[in-house]
Amino acid sequence: MQASALPASQDATPILQVSARLPQRIVFRCVETLLFIGLISMVGPHSADAQAMLKMGYSGAGVAQSLYNTIDKSGLWTKYNLDVKAIYFNSGALTAQALVGGDIDLTDSNIPTMLNLKASGVLEVRIIAGWMNRITLSFIARKPIKSPADLKGKRLAISRFGASSDFVTRMLLRYWKLDPEKDVVIIQSGGNDAIRIAAMVAGHIDGALVGTYDLPKILDSGCCVNLADLEDLPIEYARFGVIVPAASLKARREIFLRYLQALTEGIYVFKTRPELPIAILKREGIKDPEGGYKKIVKVLIDFPVPDEKAVQTALDSIGTARAKQAQAKDFIDSTLLEDIKKSGFVERLYGK
């Protein structure tokens, strides 16, 4: 049954009658309250924007974590009116799922896994910063393995299929002229470096990638040898950077610009105040914090504009037909960093 509208007189008269019976001071107080609520409703969204929260997903406890801990301890998120929540995932594959599901707003690691979202047609993403184009990992193997050729028939561990450790391991094997599908057995360990190290020490696997900060620990165990420090290989590879959904980049452009300002200044602090990141590494129990810091700072990019060649290498490492056909330029959006540079931000920061 259709409801009939009340006549205007029936709708308004009771309110007028009630207000007429109320003491004037109460009426004024009600008006003041309404005005206050209206003011809050106008100011609220702007304040929320100024202190925008970003959920940043990362995987692995290493290089990326130490940089972002430095940014946090330096108060840079607050300086740029951001509330950044770092959320840990134990593999890049899980981080990618969270990005697709909208559970995080951006990610800073496992670039090939994130780029594969666009290459496979799952989610339109863009890389808006790339702050490391070297692979700061080492490939460790159990004794008596002495060379890459000795890996034939051996069991190698990754975190998960489709994660960065998977792509980098396969790329490295191909660099060594080994077929990752035929010459070795690749198994999922389902976790981070600590799990792979424990499995290698126990003899359950024969080789795996290990992060810079964990390298001294496993070599001191005496079980294994270091076959290669990947940052010394002639491979330009987009290892760490900022990946965001394209739709979010368009809708929250100013917020991501502030994020990149904080990141750029954070890199500056990491490089020019070594005592801070080294102290953070010591608190995290890193065995050789000074040595680890020196390896990282050497390959940390001052102004993190994505490098097309490095992004293309990351795409090629995915190995799928679609990824091989993809062009790096279609995955890169450096306009925010271009705006930052035009503003004189970098020159003021470095005093150039």
Domain residue ranges in the chain: 51-133+237-350, 137-232
pLDDT digits (tens, 9 = 90+) for 181-218: 999 999 998 767 788 888 998 999 999 999 888 888 88
Closest CA to 63 of 108, 106, 107: 108
For residue 208 the two structure tokens come to 């795996």
Residue-level pLDDT at 25: 41
Confidence check: pLDDT of 309 > 90: yes
**pLDDT score for 286:** 83
By the 8 A CB rule, do 238 and 309 touch?
no
Q: Which two tokens stand for residue 69?
A: 């801990």
Q: What is the pLDDT of residue 319?
A: 84
Higher per-residue confidence, 223 vs 16: 223
Q: Could you tell me the sign of the dihedral formed by the alpha carbons of 173, 178, 181, 183, in that order?
A: negative
User: Average pLDDT, stretch 292-302?
Assistant: 91
Domain boundaries 137-232, corresponding CATH code: 3.40.190.10
Residue 50: predicted pLDDT: 57
347: part of which helix (H) or strand (E)?
helix 345-350
CATH architecture of 51-133+237-350: 3-Layer(aba) Sandwich (3.40)
Alpha carbon distances (Å) from 187 to 71, 175, 177, 192? 35, 20, 20, 13
Question: Which single residue is written with the structure tokens 């191909």?
Answer: 174
39-71 pLDDT, tens digit per residue, is 333 433 334 445 899 999 988 667 778 899 999
Q: Report the 10 Å Cβ neighbour count for 195.
A: 15
Q: Which amino acid is at 119?
A: A
* 126/124 Cα distance (integer angstroms): 7
Query: Is the pLDDT at 104 greater than 90, yes or no?
Result: yes
45, two tokens:
């969204």
Kindly tell me the sign of the dihedral angle through the C-alpha atoms of 294, 295, 298, 300: negative
- Residue 197 pLDDT: 87
- pLDDT tens for 231-264 read 888 889 998 999 999 999 999 999 999 999 999 9
Residue range 315-328: mean pLDDT, rounded = 91
Helix residue ranges, H only, 158-232: 164-175, 193-201, 215-220
- What pLDDT is recorded for position 194? 81
Mean pLDDT of the chain: 85
Q: Which residues pair with 20 in a beta bridge?
A: none
And the tokens for 272?
Answer: 């020019």
Express each pLDDT in 279-288 by its tens digit.
999 988 888 8
- As a whole number of Å, the end-to-end CA separation of the chain is 75
> Token pair 């190698």 is at which residue?
156
Query: What pLDDT is stored for residue 352 in this prediction?
Result: 62
At residue 136, the pLDDT reads 86
Cα angle 170-171-175, degrees, rounded to a multiple of 5: 115
- 32 versus 274: the higher-pLDDT residue is 274
pLDDT at 99 over 90: yes
Residues 105-147: tens digit of each pLDDT:
999 888 999 999 999 999 999 999 999 999 889 999 999 999 9
Angle between helices 63-73 and 275-283 (to 10 degrees): 120
Q: Which residue did the predictor score with more confidence, 196 or 11?
A: 196
pLDDT of residue 277: 94
Identical fold for domains 51-133+237-350 and 137-232, yes or no, is yes
- Per-residue pLDDT tens digits for 26-41: 334 433 433 433 433 3
Determine what percent of the chain is predicted with pLDDT higher than 70: 85
